Amino acid sequence: MHPLLIIFFSTLVVLSASAGTIIGTVRAEGKEGAGDSSRGGKYNSRKFKFVEKIDYSQLTDFVVYIDQPVTNLPASAPKTVQVVTQRDAVFRPHVLPIFAGTTVEWPNKDDIFHNVFSISESNPFDLGLYKDPELKKVQFKNIGRVDVFCSIHSQMSCVILVLQNPFFATPDRSGHFRIPNVPAGTYKLKAWHQRVPPDLKEVVVQETGEIEVEFILSVKGLPQY
């Protein structure tokens, strides 16, 4: 084997052997009693009785990620192409975290036209009107939040979170998440949801093993009506 290949594979072994895993849970909670319509208030009025209120305990679409640059990246590279599908006039998934430089494809599976666009400062774009079999795509080069809409259908929206490293996870419906192959070190770990304030914790990842973190995103300090 060529000496350079020996060095390369040796480096991969060292990186994979010096990485830990971050596991944990994330959930949200609202102000106590705010969701209880039996206590009266304006939600019982004719004007607001059909207005949907948020049940914070049922929120999904969280993202947990390391919120800082990471130079010692693992051997396994993240996917460089992701997909957001337009079906039934809905973007799926509604929230997509990606590593900066990733290309996102936007297939339109409806038999009507859609227009995908964003006016975000970090990654503005406009794909124009199209439907199958035409396929449009966008490469997201700059980190930041990208709110995406359809100019024809006002109810259509989604969020692309362009992150500065590949260490992120989308928790399952029970709130559990797992971020593997994290190089040993001290990091700022953030839990994010578009409807509630984020939470930030410092975590110390060892060269092997797991570290467990629990997040509770709270809106207790926010006014609710």
> Is pLDDT at 26 greater than 70 in this prediction?
yes
> Is pLDDT at 156 greater than 80 in this prediction?
yes
CATH T-level topology, domain 78-165 = Immunoglobulin-like (2.60.40)
- pTM (2 d.p.): 0.83
- 129, 100 Cβ separation under 8 angstroms: no
> Is pLDDT at 36 greater than 80 in this prediction?
no
Determine the Cα angle at 161 with ends 66 and 102, to 5°: 95
Alpha helices in the chain (DSSP H): 3-17
For residue 202, the cross-strand partners are 188
In this predicted model, what pLDDT tens digit does every residue of 137-146 receive, in sequence order?
999 999 999 9
Domain ranges of the chain: 78-165
d(CA 67, CA 113): 37
Q: Calculate the average pLDDT of the chain.
A: 86
